[in-house]
Amino acid sequence: MRPARSVLASRCRAAHGSPLSFSSPSFATSPAADPDERALYDVEYRTVGKEDRVIRWVAAKGRGVFEGDRCVRVVGVAIDITAKKDIETQLLQLNNQLESRVQEEVAERAKMEDALRQSQKMEAVGQLTGGIAHDFNNMLAAIIGPLDLLSDRINPDDARAKRYVDMAMEASRRAAQLTQRLLAFSRQQPLRPESLDANKLVAGMSDLISHALGSSVQLETVLSGGLWRTKADPNQLENVILNLAVNARDAMPGVGA
């Protein structure tokens, strides 16, 4: 008589084909036929059909029947669980896709939260800048007014005193322009588009851009001949040009961040 595990292996091959996961189904049933172990067996393995060569999953369960210390047969059942395994594979793929989508959503949410925090910071800076600009504008009014009165009453023959007053008025006008830029940055000043000469505007910003770029960058201004006039808000256009210059400086090797 052949060993019980060999009989079971032959029947499994006849019913389901040759196993792929193990060299033989007896690999799993050996403990059940061992008189020292007499273990239950519960195993899943793949087979390939003899005729159709189709790969299938098989689940086998059973136990050995003993007469004394000899296993006379192994009683069990083997069923085709290919459909179950296909469903499990699909579920695993869906879970992996779901985890990937959740990770993408979390990353996108974190990105949006960072953008929101940056926007809130910029809003706070804008509010602070607007308040400072208003206070500075009030102080300038107290300076420019007396200078206007002084320029009317000064002796026309006193060239030195007139030059000093003109220098103070010019500095006040530049400070007023700076205040307008701060208000434009804080968006508390409405846009006032007008027809302007872009070449003249850029030329007048050379000193401001040079100070913003620092001593490590040499500024060279090349104006375009025959340039048409541009309709734009002067302060906003100045802010755009200044931001472009600063961004270009930051992108330079050895200078930028």
Residue 72 DSSP SS3: strand
Co-location of 8 and 74 in the same domain: yes
Co-location of 208 and 149 in the same domain: no
- Output the CA angle 30-32-34, nearest 5 degrees: 70
User: Alpha carbon of 97 to those of 88, 91, 92, 103, 173: distances in Å?
Assistant: 14, 10, 9, 10, 63
188 contact partners, CB below 8 Å, separation of at least 6 = 126, 130, 133
Q: Which domain holds residue 42?
A: 4-84
Q: Domain containing 79 — which CATH number? A: 3.30.450
Note the pLDDT of residue 185: 65
| Cα gap 25→251, rounded to integer Å | 68
Are 45 and 66 a contacting pair, CB within 8 Å? no
Co-location of 8 and 76 in the same domain: yes
**Domain assignment present for 13:** yes
Distance of CA 207 to the CA centre of its chain: 37
Co-location of 173 and 197 in the same domain: no
Q: Consecutive sets of 10 residues in the chain, 257 residues long: mean pLDDT of each?
A: 44 49 53 77 82 85 83 83 90 89 89 85 73 76 80 81 83 77 65 85 82 81 86 82 84 66
Co-location of 154 and 203 in the same domain: no
Q: Shortest CA distance to 181 belongs to which of 233, 246, 143?
A: 233
Co-location of 12 and 63 in the same domain: yes
The number of folded domains in the chain is 3
**Domain assignment present for 97:** no
| Cα gap 149→54, rounded to integer Å | 104
| Cα gap 128→132, rounded to integer Å | 6
**Domain assignment present for 227:** yes
The residue out of 33, 54, 84 marking a domain boundary is 84
Element (H, E) at 197: none
The residue out of 171, 189, 207 marking a domain boundary is 189
* Order of strands across the sheet that contains 70-80: 18-19, 41-48, 55-67, 70-80
Note the pLDDT of residue 222: 85
Are 236 and 185 a contacting pair, CB within 8 Å? no
The pTM of this model reads 0.35
The backbone torsions φ and ψ at residue 230, rounded to the nearest 5 degrees and listed phi first, read -115, 135
